[in-house]
Amino acid sequence: MIEDKNQNKTDLAALGEFGLIDHLTKNFTIKQTSTIKGIGDDAAVLEFNKGQIVVTTDMLVEGVHFDLSYMPLKHLGYKAIVVNLSDVYAMNAQATQVTVSIAVSNRFPLEALEELYAGIETAASLYNIDVVGGDTTSSTTGLIISVTAIGTVDSENAVYRSGAKPNDLLVVSGDLGAAYMGLQVLEREKEVFKVNPNNQPDLDGYTYIIERQLKPEARKDIIELLKDLEVKPTSMIDISDGLSSEIMHLCKHSNIGCDLYEDKIPLDPQVISTCEEFNIDSTTVALNGGEDYELLFTVSQEDFPNIKANPNFTVIGFMKDEASGMHLITRAETSIPLKAQGWNALNN
Amino acid sequence: MIEDKNQNKTDLAALGEFGLIDHLTKNFTIKQTSTIKGIGDDAAVLEFNKGQIVVTTDMLVEGVHFDLSYMPLKHLGYKAIVVNLSDVYAMNAQATQVTVSIAVSNRFPLEALEELYAGIETAASLYNIDVVGGDTTSSTTGLIISVTAIGTVDSENAVYRSGAKPNDLLVVSGDLGAAYMGLQVLEREKEVFKVNPNNQPDLDGYTYIIERQLKPEARKDIIELLKDLEVKPTSMIDISDGLSSEIMHLCKHSNIGCDLYEDKIPLDPQVISTCEEFNIDSTTVALNGGEDYELLFTVSQEDFPNIKANPNFTVIGFMKDEASGMHLITRAETSIPLKAQGWNALNN
C-alpha cells in the first residue's frame, strides 16, 4: 500500500471561495467600537464619530517580497499586517481595521492558509485591530497578499511628510539595518541547505536580526510615547525602503535639506558583528537596507528636552534649507551627498 | 541595421517605484471634499463629517479573472474599479475613494501601465471618486490588480444582506447573463484566431454582450433612483457570481426562503439569440454566469407601487419563510431547488 503523505492536507477547491473565507476568519473577533459590520456583506461598515481617517495599502508578492523557503507562513501573515500598520502609525494615527486579499495557487493546502491567517490574527490581536474584509482567489503561480489598513487621527494631530522646517531635529526610533542583515543570514543558510540538506543551521548568534526580518513590529508604542511626551513631530515617515530614501522623501516633500551624521546612526551590536562577518559596511546597510519599520521624524528644537534622554529615540541629524542639499556627514567629517539606493521592488 | 520594434516602449525599472507612481497618477485630480490628502504620503487622509464608512476590496488576477489576449488594458483598469464600486453601491452607499495596488512582470512596458491607469482614471472620473493611494510592485509572472473602495452612507440608510423578510419582493436591476455570453463569444474568437490569425472576427451581432463583459458598469444610477423613489430595500447584494448564488446569500443571511420565477428573469434579446447559437440554456446562464454587476434587492410589498412601472427594475420572485427553502419555479410551473453553481475563482 502506498502511504498517503498528504493525508492532513485539504484541497482549497473543496471548500469553495465562500466556505474558505468563512473558515479562515471564523475565529476573528471585533475589537473596535468603530467596526459596525466586519466580514460577511458586500462591504464592511465603519463608524467614526470624529476626526480623520487614514488609508494605506501594500502588496506582498512571493519571490519578490518574501521567500517561503525560510519565511514561515504564520510569520508572513503577521508581517503583511505589520508593514501596513507601520504606514498608519507614520501618520501619527491609530490603526483600527484592515482588509486582507490573497491570491494562492493550488499548491497551497488549506492548512497553509490556516497558518497564514493565524499570523494575521496574532497581529490583529496584538495591535488591537479588526480584520473587516478581504478577497480570496486563485493565482496561476505564487502567493500574493494585499492588505489595506485604516486608522483614525484627530484632525489636528495628523503628521505628514511635508511639515519639516530648517533647524528641526531628525530623529529615528529603535535601530537600523537589522532586518537586512537577517535576510543576508537567511539567504546564506538557504544556499548551504541547497548543497547539504542535512546541515542544521546554527543561528544562535543572529536571533535579533533574524527576528527583525521574519517578525518585524510596527512602532505603535512610539506614537503613544510621543503623545505622552506631548511631542508632535513636524513630519514623519516609516522606514521601509532604507533610511536614505526616507530622509530624501521628508526633504523633498518639505522642500528642505538635511545633514545626517554617520556616527549617530543607531546600530545593534549584532548588526555590526554580522556586517563585519559579511564584509559589508554597516552604514550602507542602515542607509539602504530597508524593512526596519522604524519611525523617522522631525521635531522642532524646543522639543529636544522631551526626547533627549529617551532610549527609544536617537537624534541623527538636523534639517537645513533646501539650497544646502541633503548630505551624510561621515565619521571622517567629510560631507557627501545622500543617495537613495534603497530597495526597489521594480528592479528585483 | 536591425529595426528596433520596441522604440516606443519604456522599461519600468528605468523609472523606479516612486517615479512610476508619480508618473501614472500625475493626471489624477481630487473630486471629493472628503479627500484631505490623496497619493503621496504614508497614507491617504479622509474626513467624513457624518454617517458611516463602507470598505470593500477585490483582487483581479491575470489568467484567472481576465485574459489580456482580448481584454484591452484600458478596459481592465476600468473594470477593476467598477467591480469594487458595485460592492459599495450594494450597501446603498455612495463611493468616494479607491486605492489601487498592482503587481506587474517586466514584460509590461510603461505604456501598458499608462493604458491601465487611463482606464482607472476614466472610471474614477465617471463615478466621481478619488484614487487616493496604492502600491506598485513587480510580479514573477502576470498582472495582479487589487482595489479597495471606500464609500459613505447615512447610518440609517445602509442596506445589508440580512434584512429581507418573508413576503418581500425580490427585484433585480437591468438584465442578466450578458457578460457571460460575451465571454463565450470572445473565447470562441480567440480559438479561431489561434487557427487563423488573418481571420477578422465579425462581432457586429454581439456588441451588447461583449461590452457587458469588457466594460461593465456599476449601478450608481440605481442607488440614486431608489433614493428618488424613496424606496429603501430591506436587503441588497450585487450580482458578481450569478443570480442563483446571490439569492442564496440573501436568504442565508436573512434566514428566509425564496421562490424565483424563471419566466420573470430579465434577458436581453442578444443573450437569448447567442444562447441559442451556443446551444446553452439562457436560464442557466442567468443563474450561474456572473459578472453582471446588477443589483439584486428585496423590498416590502408596500413599496411595489413605487417600482412596478419602472423599466430599470424587474420583480423576479418573492421571499418565503426559511422552512419553505429556495426554489426556482420553472416555465412549466415545477418547483426545483436553487443551486449555486456560480463562478468560483478557486475552481478555475
Residue A17 lies in a domain: yes
Interface test with chain A among B53, B87, B235, B254, by most A beta carbons within 10 Å = B53
Residues B124 and B201 in one domain: no
Query: What CATH code is carried by the domain that includes residue A96?
Result: 3.30.1330.10
Q: Which residues of A are annotated as a binding site for Mg(2+)?
A: 42, 56-58, 87, 135, 238, 241
Interface test with chain A among B23, B59, B101, B253, by most A beta carbons within 10 Å = B59
3-state helix, strand, coil in chain B (%, to 5): 40, 25, 40
* B157, closest residue in chain A (CA to CA): A45
Residues A147 and A258 in one domain: no
Residue A76 lies in a domain: yes
Q: Quick check: A345 contacting B, CB < 8 Å?
A: yes
Q: Which of A56, A59, A93 has its CB closest to that of B103?
A: A59
Structural domain count, chain B: 2
C-alpha cell at A76: 508572513
- Residue B6: pLDDT over 60: no
Contact A113, A12 (CB under 8 A): yes
- Is B188 labelled as part of a ligand binding site? no
Query: What CATH code is carried by the domain that includes residue B190?
Result: 3.90.650.10
- CA B285 remoteness from chain centre: 17
List Cβ neighbours of B89 (8 Å cut-off, separation of 6 or more): B95, B151, B218, B219, B220, B222, B223, B238, B295
Question: Using alpha carbons only, what angle is made at residue A321 by residues A316 and A323, rounded to the nearest 5 degrees?
Answer: 115
Domain edge (last residue) among A102, A129, A153:
A153
- Residue B141: pLDDT over 80: no
Residue B1 lies in a domain: no
Q: In this predicted structure, what is the pLDDT of residue A49?
A: 85
Q: In this predicted structure, what is the pLDDT of residue A3?
A: 47
Residues B194 and B304 in one domain: yes
Residues A191 and A321 in one domain: yes
- φ and ψ at B307, to 5 degrees? -115, -15
As a whole number, mean pLDDT of residues B299-326 equals 96
The answer to whether the CB atoms of A133 and B56 lie below 8 A apart is: yes
The answer to whether the CB atoms of B41 and A151 lie below 8 A apart is: no
Interface test with chain B among A35, A55, A110, by most B beta carbons within 10 Å = A55
Contact A116, A76 (CB under 8 A): yes
Who wins on pLDDT, B172 or B345? Answer: B172
Contact A101, A149 (CB under 8 A): no
- Is B212 labelled as part of a ligand binding site? no
Residues of A in Cβ contact (< 8 Å) with B135: 57-59, 146
C-alpha cell at B329: 419555479
- φ and ψ at B288, to 5 degrees? -125, 0
Contact A307, A233 (CB under 8 A): no
Residues B177 and B314 in one domain: yes
Interfacial B residues in 297-326 facing A (CB < 8 Å):
none
CA–CA distances in Å: residue B175 to residues A71, A95, B21, B209, B311: 48, 41, 38, 11, 11
Interface test with chain A among B12, B25, B42, B92, by most A beta carbons within 10 Å = B42
Q: Which helix or strand (DSSP H or E) is residue B94 part of?
A: strand B94-104
Question: Using alpha carbons only, what angle is made at residue A19 by residues A14 and A21, rounded to the nearest 5 degrees?
Answer: 120
Residues A35 and A144 in one domain: yes
A44: nearest Cα among A102, A119, A98, A118 = A98
Q: Quick check: B105 contacting A, CB < 8 Å?
A: no
Q: Which residues of A are annotated as a binding site?
A: 42, 56-58, 65, 87, 117, 134-135, 161, 238, 240-241, 291, 343
What is the longest distance spanned by two Cα atoms in chain B?
78
Contact A274, A142 (CB under 8 A): no
- Residue B346: pLDDT over 80: no
Residue B70 lies in a domain: yes
- Range of A27's domain? 12-153
Residues A114-153 as b/e (b if ≥16 CB within 10 A, e otherwise) read bbbbbbbbbbbeebebbbbbbbbbbbebbbbbbbbbbbbb
What is the rounded distance in angstroms from the CA atom of residue B161 to the CA atom of residue B54? Answer: 14
CA–CA distances in Å: residue B122 to residues A136, B65, B126: 27, 21, 6
For residue B67, the SS3 value is coil
Q: In this predicted structure, what is the pLDDT of residue B105?
A: 87
Residues A283 and A325 in one domain: yes
Q: Please, which pLDDT band fits residue B347 given cuts at 50, 70 and 90?
A: very low
A180: nearest Cα among A112, A30, A282 = A282
CA distance B197 to chain A (A): 26
Residue B268 lies in a domain: yes
The answer to whether the CB atoms of A139 and B135 lie below 8 A apart is: no
Residue A128 lies in a domain: yes
CA distance A346 to chain B (A): 5
C-alpha cell at A107: 499548491
Kindly tell me the burial class for residue B7, based on how many C-beta atoms sit within 10 Å of its own C-beta (0-12, 13-18, 19 or more): exposed
Block means of pLDDT (10 residues each) for chain A, length 348 residues?
Answer: 56 74 85 92 92 95 91 96 98 97 89 94 96 89 93 95 98 98 94 84 90 97 97 97 95 98 98 97 94 97 94 97 97 92 50
The answer to whether the CB atoms of B13 and A58 lie below 8 A apart is: no
Residues of B in Cβ contact (< 8 Å) with A50: none
Looking at every residue in chain B, the average pLDDT score rounds to 92
Residues A212 and A116 in one domain: no
Interface test with chain A among B12, B33, B36, B57, by most A beta carbons within 10 Å = B57
Q: Which of B15, B45, B53 has its CB closest to that of A54?
A: B45
- Is B58 labelled as part of a ligand binding site? yes
Residue A111 lies in a domain: yes
Contact A130, A35 (CB under 8 A): yes
CA distance A143 to chain B (A): 10
- Residue B338: pLDDT over 70: yes
CA distance B217 to chain A (A): 17
Residues A70 and A192 in one domain: no
Domain edge (last residue) among A88, A121, A153:
A153
CA distance B107 to chain A (A): 12
Q: In this predicted structure, what is the pLDDT of residue B22?
A: 79
CA distance B33 to chain A (A): 13
What is the rounded distance in angstroms from the CA atom of residue B270 to the CA atom of residue B9? Answer: 39
CA distance B56 to chain A (A): 5
- Residue B8: pLDDT over 70: no
* A239, closest residue in chain B (CA to CA): B42
Residue B5 lies in a domain: no
HEC per residue, chain A: CCCCCCCCCCCHHHHHHHHHHHHHHCCCCCCCCCEEECCCCCCEEECCCCCEEEEEEEEEEECCCECCCCCCHHHHHHHHHHHHHHHHHCCCCEEEEEEEEEEECCCCCHHHHHHHHHHHHHHHHHCCCEEEEEEEEECCCCCEEEEEEEEEECCCCCCCCCCCCCCCEEEEECCCCHHHHHHHHHHHHHHHHHHCCCCCCCCHHHHHHHHHHHCCCCCHHHHHHHHHCCCCCCEEEECCCCHHHHHHHHHHHHCEEEEEEHHHCCCCHHHHHHHHHHCCCHHHHHHHCCCCCCEEEEECHHHHHHHCCCCCEEEEEEEEEHHHCEEEECCCCCEEECCCCCCCCCCC
Q: Which of B42, B91, B148 has its CB closest to that of A42?
A: B91
Residues B320 and B182 in one domain: yes
Residues B136 and B176 in one domain: no
H helices of B138-219, in order, are: 178-195, 207-214
Q: Please, which pLDDT band fits residue B342 given cuts at 50, 70 and 90?
A: low
What is the rounded distance in angstroms from the CA atom of residue B53 to the CA atom of residue B55? Answer: 7
Interhelix angle B110-126/B73-89, nearest 10 degrees: 30
Residues A186 and A85 in one domain: no
Domain edge (last residue) among B111, B129, B157:
B157
The answer to whether the CB atoms of B103 and A47 lie below 8 A apart is: no
Contact B106, B138 (CB under 8 A): yes
List Cβ neighbours of A227 (8 Å cut-off, separation of 6 or more): none
Q: Quick check: A24 contacting B, CB < 8 Å?
A: no
Interfacial B residues in 144-163 facing A (CB < 8 Å):
144, 146, 148-151, 153, 155, 158, 160-162
CA distance B210 to chain A (A): 24
What is the rounded distance in angstroms from the CA atom of residue B101 to the CA atom of residue A102? Answer: 13
Sign of the CA dihedral running B46, A239, A216, A200 = positive
